Each structure stands twice: as C-alpha cells, then as structure tokens.
A and B are shown apart, each in its own frame.
Chain A
C-alpha cells in the first residue's frame, strides 16, 4: 500500500517536472480527471455495463457447459481418456486465436466476441470440474452408495458438492481467462456494435487520448481485483474451510 502511494507520488512528480513527454504518459491527476469526466458523462459506465454483460453471458454459458462437460468427463473414464488430451491441448491455445474462426462463422459481430470469451473459460472450467469429480474421496461415494444414492441424486447431492472446491477454483481461473479473452476480442473488433471497455481503450488510442487509455486500464485493473479478491477468492476460501480442506 505504502509502495503504491510512493509510486503514485513519483509518477505525479515525474509528470509535473516533465521527466518524460507528458503527452505520452500523463500523470495520475490527469487520469483521475479523465476518469471522473468519463464517469460523469456516463460513457465509462455504459462501456463497463456492456463489457460486464458480455462476460456475464459468456462466462455463465462457459460455467454451465463446462460443468456439464466436466461432469461427463469426470464420471465416464472412456470419455475422459478420449477428450482430455484434446482439452489439455486446446487449453494451451490462447483463446483469441478462435477469433478468425468466430468471425467466419458469425461475422464481425457480438456473437464472435461472446464466442471467443466463452472459449477462453470453457476448457479451464471443464478440466477443473472433471479433475474435481475424479478426485472425490472414494469414501464419500461409498457412503453415498450405502445410503442408496444413485443416478441423478448421486450427481446432484454428492458428486457436485464434493467437487465444488475444485469447480470454484476452475471458475476463478476461467473468469481470468474469459476476462482476458473478452478484452482481446473487444480490442480487435472496435467496429462491432456496442462499445465495451476494450473498444473504449482502443478508441482512446485512435484519438491519441493517453489519459483515456490509462483511465480505462485503471478500471480494468479495478474490476479484475474486485472479481478475484472480493468474489472468487472469498468464495473459494469459505468453501474450502467448510469442506474441511484448510485449517481454521
């Protein structure tokens, strides 16, 4: 925290004293000014809403699809053996590489951006869920079998909750991937429909408005930190504690 404040002071001083071309790298006060202006005229909030809506839809779909794929992969060894090398391979592919394909399939449209974002999270979530299912302590399954839990009930009431810690860490990772993919997608498709944060960032560049660029970057960092620290890490810690996976 202290380091951060110091950094801000140095940054501001450097900007005021013209240690560098202040036009290329405006100081924090300038960025703050742009930020408040953007918030006041509503453009930033609209962009935020659009981006969050996009990631909400794509990430939500990735969670549902990924959990289903992961469940099947985790529960049926044959499917696991067949799909997991493919999934692991595709996971190394940066999801923005799906963009050309998406553009051909869907045109340079909203759906292309959503598709890229979805692909960013899908594999991470599927793999995490399937690993989670495969690592369920056999004791739980034996206890469930003894109590007559089979079929759908076994999935819903035992396997899913037992795998929940793994699913959550998959979700956290998936979110991070999806967020990056969304920004990449938006940066590369400025002309598409509604302006999200990525497109606002790119427009700032086009207009040579460096303080706009930095303002949007600040917002991106803020959203990232909030999602990770306040939502996912907290959820994960709660679940891990309850599931008896960590002390305290």
Chain B
C-alpha cells in the first residue's frame, strides 16, 4: 500500500490536491479546488551591513481551497519570510503573489496570521482579544461578546473568557490566538511555528485541535514548522525548503488517513523519509557555518569574532 506519493515538481502536486478534501469519492477526483494563493517566481532579498541574503529565491507555490499545506525546512531557510509575503507583511522584490487572482498588497482579515508567540493584547481579556477581531463584522456589543465566547469554546477556553493573557499558560494563550484568528472568519490561516514554544504534550494536544478545526471549518491552512513530525501529522502536502538561497526543494503529498496522531507508526515512517532528505540540507548549513566560523576565527586574533551560530541548535530533531 502506498502510504505516500512523492513529487519533485510543484505542478504534479496539483493532481494530489483532490485528496485534500479528505473525501476520497471517485467523483471528486476531477474537481480540482480553485487556487487561493499563487506565488510565481517570488524573490526576496534582505540587505544588511553584512551583505545581501537571498531569503527566498524563485518560489513557485499554489495553495488550493481547503488544503492543509505544511512548510518545513531548517532554521533561516525563509519559512517565515514566505509566510510574511503571503500575509502581506513583507513585499517581494520580484515575482507575483496573488490571492484569488488579485495581487497581495498588505495584510487583511481574509489572511489571518498566528504568530510564534501569541500576539495577544495584554491589556485585554481573552474575550476582549477575540472581540477585537470581531469588531468590524459585529456591531452589536452583546452579540459580539456572545460570538467571542463561542469562538473561545471552540478551543475549550470559554471558562477563561475574563482572564488576562498574563493569567494564562503559553498553550492557553496560543489557543486564544487561534480563536481570535478564527473570529476574523479568514479564508486562509497562516500559522508560523505556533506551537514551537510549547511543551510536547501541549503541542500534541493542539495539533489534534488544529486538525479538528481544519476538518470542521474547511479553512485553507498554511502551517510553518521546523518539526517534520508535526508537518506529516497535519499536512496534505509537505513542502521542504532548502536554505541560502531559500528555495523549495521538494513537495511530498501525504495521503495517510485522518485523524493522524504524532505517535502513528506510518506518520513516523514518512517523517523519517523526509528527515533523510532534509539532513543533507542541514549538513550543508553545518558545513557552511563551520567554514564561515573558521574564516572568522583564523585571522581574528584581534578579539572580536562575533557570535558563531550553532548550526544544529535549531534543527529539526524535536519530532523524532
């Protein structure tokens, strides 16, 4: 039995998109859902006093209606940058970024972002934070409050509606952030390592929660992580990125049945396969970093060598 299919071009991934709806009916095979996000030849460079970094090079990516796409890659490969381009928080230097065929010019409520740290407003309670997102849609105060509580109960936090963020745990805050994002009624959820700062148990719980929300709401989700297990557990497609320059290395369609759990052996086996591919990429960075460190240290008896990053410090080992 084929647990997964592997493609190296993004175009062939489109054929797999029909499985995204998690309804393997024969009639649905031909009905490819419409593209929501289309990136074509996107380049992003950052110029600092240390030179120019090609954060993204020639990125082509299509995300279709209702798809759950995961983006994995080593630290610094441009995952956050890619997400920011789609969110409208970062301009591409060249190439085109379209949402529903229209150029993305700035952030908007149809593309809700969930950041690594819950970006809740500390001066508002959990419910008020969610209400903030509802303000433009619901004018009536009472209705707004009721809708906020409803969204909080989707993440099982209705009981904490009147708690301030500093009174909640990290996992609870991240759940409020999810409720707030859902309250925007976005077409697309963009999640940037939302659970990276949480302990493993909380994270597994929230992974299950995100799958449940995705299945019940049918939202399109783009999920960034450096944890391959997480990606395989969640995604219809896993997109592996390489670093310097940030490019898409390969795409893997995941056709394992849902709901998936991190501890499923099939999930683990597929993750292992992807890890092997990514390891080359990590080794490449490690080599680069140590070469770079050598050039820094050798001539620099003068003292200031700058900080030398540990190339493996933020690698993808967590999940395995």
Contacts and interface: CB of A to CB of B under 8 A. Distances in A.
Interface residues of A, number: 18
Nearest to B113: A146
B119 A142 contact: yes
B109 A140 contact: no
B309 interface: no
B258 to A, nearest CB: 28
A103 B112 CA distance: 58
Nearest to B186: A146
A146 B107 contact: yes
Contacts of B166: 241-244
User: How many of chain B's residues touch chain A, expressed as a range?
Assistant: 20 to 34
Interface stretch (A36-44, A65-73, A87-95, A158-166): A158-166
B88 to A, nearest CB: 8
Nearest to A143: B119
A221 B26 CA distance: 85
B109 A146 contact: yes
A139 B121 contact: no
Interface string B174-190: 00000010001000000
A157 B112 CA distance: 19
| Interface majority SS (helix, strand, loop, mixed), chain B | loop
A236 to B, nearest CB: 14
A14 B136 CA distance: 72
Contacts of B119: 139-140, 142-143
Contacts of A244: 122, 165-166
A139 B115 contact: yes
A203 B70 CA distance: 78
Of the listed residues B122, B165, B166, the one surrounded by the most CB atoms of chain A closer than 10 A to its CB is B122
B52 to A, nearest CB: 22
Contact of B109 (A139, A147, A158, A164): A147
Contacts of B113: 142-143, 146
Contacts of B106: 145
Contact of B123 (A143, A148, A243): A243
Interface string B184-210: 100000000000000000000000000
B266 interface: no
The 4 A-B residue pairs with the shortest CB-CB distance in the complex, in nearest-first order: A143-B119, A244-B166, A161-B123, A139-B119
Interface string B134-163: 011000000000000000000000000000
B281 interface: no
B60 interface: no
Given A161-B123, A243-B122, A147 B132 contact: yes
Interface of B: 87, 89, 106-109, 111-113, 115, 117, 119-123, 132-133, 135-136, 164-166, 180, 184
Contacts of A145: 89, 106-107
Contact of A158 (B121, B133, B164, B184): B121
Given A148-B109, A148-B184, 13 more contacts: A139-B117, A140-B119, A142-B113, A142-B115, A143-B113, A143-B115, A143-B121, A145-B107, A146-B107, A147-B135, A147-B180, A148-B136, A241-B166
A147 B115 contact: no
Contacts of B121: 140, 143, 158, 161-162
A161 B122 CA distance: 9
Contacts of B87: 146
B122 A157 contact: no
A242 B164 contact: yes
A17 to B, nearest CB: 57
Contacts of A164: 123
A239 to B, nearest CB: 8
A162 B121 CA distance: 8
Given A145-B107, A147-B133, A157-B132, A242 B115 contact: no
14 contacts: A139-B115, A142-B115, A143-B115, A143-B120, A146-B87, A146-B109, A146-B112, A147-B133, A147-B135, A147-B184, A148-B108, A148-B184, A149-B132, A242-B122
Interface string A50-74: 0000000000000000000000000
Contacts of B112: 146
B221 to A, nearest CB: 15
B123 A242 contact: yes
A240 to B, nearest CB: 10
B122 A146 contact: no
A148 B106 CA distance: 10
B219 to A, nearest CB: 15
A143 B117 CA distance: 11
B282 to A, nearest CB: 28
Contacts of B122: 242-244
B55 to A, nearest CB: 18
Contacts of A146: 87, 107-109, 111-113, 184
A163 to B, nearest CB: 11
Contacts of A147: 109, 132-133, 135, 180, 184
B173 to A, nearest CB: 10
Contacts of A158: 121
Contacts of B135: 147
Nearest to B132: A147
